[in-house]
Amino acid sequence: MHPVLWDLHLGKLGTFTLGTYGLFYAIAFLVGVRVAMAYAKREGIDPTQMIDLGIWTLLAGIVGAKLLLVLVEFPYYLHHSMEIVYNWRSAGVFYGGFIAAGLVGLWYVRRNRLPLAKTADALAPGVALAQAIGRIGCLSAGCCYGKPTDVRWALTFVDPRAHDLTGVPLAIPLHPTQIYHGLADLALFALLAFLYPRKRVDGIVFWVYVLTYAILRFAIEFYRGDYRGEVFGGLLSTSQLIGIVAAAVAAYSILRLRAAHRHA
Residue 1's pLDDT is what? Answer: 67
Residue 43's pLDDT is what? Answer: 93
Burial of 74 (0-12, 13-18, 19+ CB in 10 A): exposed
Beta bridge partners of 231: 236
Residue 253's pLDDT is what? Answer: 97
How does pLDDT run across 67-113, given as a tens digit for each residue? 776 676 656 555 555 555 545 555 566 778 888 899 999 999 999 99
Amino acid at 139: L
Digit-by-digit pLDDT tens for the chain (264 residues) are 677 766 666 666 666 666 788 888 899 999 999 999 999 999 999 999 999 999 999 888 888 877 776 676 656 555 555 555 545 555 566 778 888 899 999 999 999 999 999 999 999 999 999 999 999 999 998 888 999 999 999 999 998 888 888 889 999 999 999 999 999 999 999 999 999 999 999 999 999 999 999 999 999 999 999 877 788 888 999 889 999 999 999 999 999 999 988 876
Residue 76's pLDDT is what? Answer: 54
Q: Greatest CA separation found in the chain?
A: 70
DSSP string, 197-217: GG-SSTTHHHHHHHHHHHHHH
Residue 166's pLDDT is what? Answer: 83
Q: Model's pTM, two decimal places?
A: 0.86
Residue 65's pLDDT is what? Answer: 79
DSSP string, the chain: --SEEEEEE-GGG-EEEEEHHHHHHHHHHHHHHHHHHHHHHHTT--THHHHHHHHHHHHHHHHHHHHHHHHHTHHHHHH-THHHHHGGGS---HHHHHHHHHHHHHHHHHHTT--HHHHHHHHHHHHHHHHHHHHHHHHHHT-S-B-B---TT-EE---HHHHHHH-PPSSSEE--HHHHHHHHHHHHHHHHHHHGGG-SSTTHHHHHHHHHHHHHHHHHHTTB-S---EETTTTEEHHHHHHHHHHHHHHHHHHHHHHHHHT-
Handedness of CA 95, 99, 105, 108 (dihedral sign): negative
Residue 225's pLDDT is what? Answer: 93
Handedness of CA 84, 87, 88, 92 (dihedral sign): negative
Residue 97's pLDDT is what? Answer: 82
Q: Give the C-alpha distances (Å, rounded to integers) separating 117 from 95, 146, 205.
A: 20, 36, 9
